[in-house]
Structure 1
Amino acid sequence: MNYILFYDLADNYLEERGQYRAEHLGLAREAAEKGELILGGALDEPADQALLIFQTEAQATAFANNDPYVKNGLIKDWKVRKWNAVIGSKLD
């Protein structure tokens, strides 16, 4: 069982993310190294959403609360939803 963190990106996301990108990616790398973050990335064309898959709801929520993108208004809205994945090569 996993949890998806959904981000709705601000209209100025692409123009403004550069100043926060290193800190954002550092936070993501740290979560991945701990085994909390499974996958993450922005959707493209249009770049209006991003998805990050976590092991637990608490991990996803903590990530969003500490993410410089969220703190600096590059994320219009976010939510976490439980994902009941039932098939795939990465399932235990």
Structure 2
Amino acid sequence: MPHYLLRYQYVVDIGERRGPFRDEHLSRFWQQADAGRVVLAGAAGEAGNEGIIVWSVDDPSEIHEFVTGDPYMTAGLVTSYDVVPWNTVVGDLAANPVRP
């Protein structure tokens, strides 16, 4: 199954503002992980101002639909996002393994 990167850019003060929304935000991602659609997710960078989520889905529209209901998005904590196809070639979960 293909992989996609969902990249969130968060507000600068995400750490201070996320509290009331964090449990629901994480619960929704864990539901996707338990269903096999999210492979990994977490904050990136020194300040954690970016979220990177690895999805394994056939149709990236599922990711866009998910984003519209994410509490971080509806609360204005996500300033922008993008969904990027990721051609995985190495590792047990690679969608298109290539071995020399």
* TM, length-normalised to structure 1: 0.91
The 2-side partners of 1:38 and 1:58 are apart by 17
Q: Identify the residue that residue 22 of structure 1 maps to in structure 2.
A: 23
Extract unaligned runs of 5+ from structure 2: 96-100
| C-alpha RMSD of matched pairs (Å) | 1.3
Q: Which runs of 4+ in 1 moved over 4 A?
A: none
Q: AA paired with 1:82?
A: P
The 1-side partners of 2:91 and 2:70 are apart by 29
Percent sequence identity is 29
Say which structure, 1 or 2, has more relative contact order (CA 8 Å, 6+ apart). Answer: 1
Extract unaligned runs of 5+ from structure 1: none
The 2-side partners of 1:50 and 1:33 are apart by 19
* TM, length-normalised to structure 2: 0.84
Q: After superposition, where does 1:48-63 map in structure 2 within 5 Å?
A: 48-56=49-57, 57-63=60-66
The 2-side partners of 1:62 and 1:55 are apart by 15
* Residue-pair matches, total: 92
Q: After superposition, where does 1:26-37 map in structure 2 within 5 Å?
A: 26-37=27-38
How far off is 1:61 after superposition?
1.3
How far off is 1:24 after superposition?
0.4
The 2-side partners of 1:37 and 1:71 are apart by 20
